[in-house]
Structure 1
Amino acid sequence: MATVLSVSGSPSATSRTARLLRHLDGRLVAQGHEVIPLDVRALPPEALLHAQTGHPAIAEATALFARADGVVIGTPVYKAAYSGLLKSLLDLLPQYALAGKTVLPLATGGTTAHVLAIDYALRPVLASLGAAHITPGWFTLDRDITVADDGSLTVAPASAEALAQVTDQFSLALGGRTTLLAATG
């Protein structure tokens, strides 16, 4: 089906955001998509901070965006906006890096006071990068994501259902209707 780039903008090595994305990656793989995970925190900090677009790791990340049919962008919310780490990468991408792409924005945070961060902070940047279709996103409260000692993830039922819906809408927008119906039927 489609190639999906799954981008975590969390700076934390124990990130619930990244774990949630990897969980949703599994759903997309089950629907027939190829998913490529990208943790921005794994990119060289000096290359990000000094805007070294020619650095091999930054060039490789840019190539992953170019290769993808769709992009899932996940970020923790800090100060009512997406992470500075994610911004540092988005700032280095070509002006229309998301042209022709379907994008699913996701965010996590500690309070519902940040629920509009997707629509007021992240969505405009994704649109300015030329996204062809930004599907409905979802904000998940940190308390709805539990990580067990073995690393397994549990999402509270209401959030899990909403995440499944937005992920499936994204999959459908990528052209995964037949696979989606087979995976859920």
Structure 2
Amino acid sequence: MAHVLSISGSPSATSRTTALLRHLDARLTAHGHRVTPLEVRSLPAEALLGADPRHPAIAAAAELFETADGIVVGTPVYKAAYSGLLKSLLDLLPQYALAGKVVLPLATGGTAAHVLAIDYALRPVLTSMGAAQVTPGWFTLDREITVREDGTVAIAEQTADALAQVTDQFSVALGARAVLSTTSA
């Protein structure tokens, strides 16, 4: 199946966004995809803030984008937009780093007032980077995600159902993209 890069744009070590992504990674793996997680916060701050695309860690992250068939982008919402940490990474990538990729945008936040951040802040950037398809995304309220002491994640039932649906749509789009790639080769 497809190779998926699952990116967390959260600066927090105890991020609900990251926990949610790892939960969805398991679903994508169950669909037969190979998933590589990337936490932007693990990249060197000097390289991100200094806009150094030649730094080995940034170059390695760029390579992950290049080799992935699909990208899941998760971010907390701050001030009605995706995280500055995520923006720092996206700014260092080549203009068309998402060319030919299927992308699933996800966001988390404390209030439903930020639900449109995916469509009005994140989706335009992903599209401008050449994504072949940006599938329907999902905004999840922080209170609907519980990280248990053992590290497992519990998601409110209605939200879990919606997340399963957008994740499955992404998986189908990845499969359709793979079929198109093999028939046009």
TM-score normalized by structure 2?
Answer: 0.94
One-letter amino acid matched to 2:6: S
Instruction: Give yes or no for the alignment of 1:90 onto 2:90.
Output: yes
Aligned residue for 2:175, secondary structure, equals: coil
Name the residue aligned to 1:143: 143
Unaligned runs of 5+ in 1: 177-185
Quote how far apart the aligned CAs of 1:150 are: 1.5
Name the residue aligned to 1:49: 49
**RMSD, aligned α-carbons:** 0.6
Quote how far apart the aligned CAs of 1:152 are: 1.2
Percent of residue pairs identical: 76
Mapping of residues 1-185 of structure 1, within 5 Å: 1-175=1-175
1:129-174, Cα deviation, whole Å (9 max, x unpaired):
0000000000000000011111111000000000000000000000
In structure 1, what is the Cα distance between the partners aligned to 2:146 and 2:36? 24
In structure 1, what is the Cα distance between the partners aligned to 2:88 and 2:72? 17
TM-score normalized by structure 1?
Answer: 0.94
One-letter amino acid matched to 2:91: D
One-letter amino acid matched to 2:25: D
In structure 1, what is the Cα distance between the partners aligned to 2:112 and 2:121? 15
Structure 1 residue ranges, 4+ long, deviating more than 6 angstroms after superposition: none
Quote how far apart the aligned CAs of 1:25 are: 0.2
In structure 2, what is the Cα distance between the partners aligned to 1:106 and 1:72? 7
In structure 1, what is the Cα distance between the partners aligned to 2:154 and 2:24? 12
Question: How many residues matched?
Answer: 176
